[in-house]
Copies of this chain bind each other. A is one copy, B any other.
Amino acid sequence: MHEPTFKSVAVIGTGVIGRSWIRVFARAGCETRGFDPDDERLARAFEGTPPSARACATLDEALAGAEWVQESGPEALATKRSLYAELDATAPPTAILASSTSTHDMSRIAEGLDGASRCIVAHPVNPPHVVPVVEVLPGERTDPETVAAALAFMTSVGQSPVEMNHYLPGFLLNRMQAALVREAVFLIGSGAATADAIDTVIRDGLGLRWALMGPFGTAHTNADGGAGDYLERYGDAYRALWADLEADPDFDASVIEQVHDGMVDLYGPDSTAALSEWRDRSVRRIRDMKKEDPPPTRAEAAR
């Protein structure tokens, strides 16, 4: 891991996401302050954190000297807008104001703010201290320098930022997830397969490679001439399948029940702590494995 490009960080809102961000920033060596109007939630978010992280009694105290503000408050747009007005008025004038929102356009959140140029979305996957990808996207008035600084900072604290050039509902990750889940819901609802069969196809098939390379990297290994060769060869096959996919599958109580029952058979009825711990531990191991044995680079491959 690099030295963090910002040393002084404020996390505003310390629910599930804010709490995990505190771990990301603190382990990277940032001086990390947090604030939440709910005292109990605030205290809980700092359980077991290093001395470089501390809870603050007021928003002003948390923001004092901050170079990066990671807003992780409630997801309602009106709440975000009033919170951003307060952040823009209170944070140091050069601080970047980043939102963990998964749904809102920064153009709307920062509409009318003097400091709109320093406002940006930095949307993590839950929990960010385990899953590294962060979607970074500007609003209409966000300064390109804010984008560059956000990408550099996220990389420097060990995350994997990706740049999205403009807002679309669901950003990149949730759109692609929704596309795959839509077809999965259709396959279950139409009686083609069970939820367990669907999950097995992913976890013992597609997911094994996608954890390493994503779909286009995988394509690059599947034809002699690389991804371009693959996409030219299979382009018509893809188009034919696209025409056959279901756009609006039944997604009623009976499909949901089938999925739920399938997962209960596998894992038990609830999202247990033991299951989430296993998931997070295993994700960390895959990440460690990729760090220790990364893909051959262009230079190595040419040898």
The residues of A with any CB-CB pair to B shorter than 8 Å are 103, 125-126, 131-133, 135, 160, 162-166, 168-170, 172-184, 187, 191-195, 197-229, 231-232, 235, 237-242, 244-245, 247-248, 251, 256-257, 259-260, 262-272, 274-276, 278-279, 281-283, 285-287, 289-290, 293, 295-303
Contact = CB atoms under 8 A, between A and B. Distances in A.
Going nearest first, the 9 A-B pairs with the smallest beta carbon separation are: A199-B214, A228-B260, A207-B210, A133-B205, A211-B211, A202-B214, A268-B298, A160-B204, A178-B241
B200 A214 contact: yes
Given A220-B263, A271-B223, A207 B201 contact: no
A227 B260 contact: yes
A234 to B, nearest CB: 10
A238 B174 CA distance: 9
A256 B231 contact: yes
Question: Of A202, A218, A232, which is in contact with the most chain B CB atoms at under 10 Å from its CB?
Answer: A202
Contacts of A126: 222
A22 to B, nearest CB: 20
Contact of A206 (B173, B227, B299): B173
Contact of A259 (B228, B285, B298): B228
A29 to B, nearest CB: 21
Contacts of A270: 224-226, 301
A216 B184 CA distance: 9
A266 B205 CA distance: 23
B245 A178 contact: yes
Contact of A221 (B201, B264, B271): B271
A278 B279 CA distance: 24
A197 B228 contact: no
A19 to B, nearest CB: 16
Contacts of A212: 203, 207, 279, 282-283
A133 B204 contact: yes
Contact of A197 (B172, B244, B251): B172
A296 B274 contact: yes
Contact of A208 (B180, B199, B235, B283): B283
Nearest to A135: B201
Nearest to A269: B226
A89 to B, nearest CB: 32
A178 B238 contact: yes
A282 B217 CA distance: 14
Given A172-B198, A216-B263, 10 more contacts: A131-B209, A162-B197, A177-B206, A181-B238, A199-B213, A212-B283, A228-B259, A265-B298, A268-B297, A282-B293
A244 B87 CA distance: 32
B178 A192 contact: no
B301 A220 contact: no
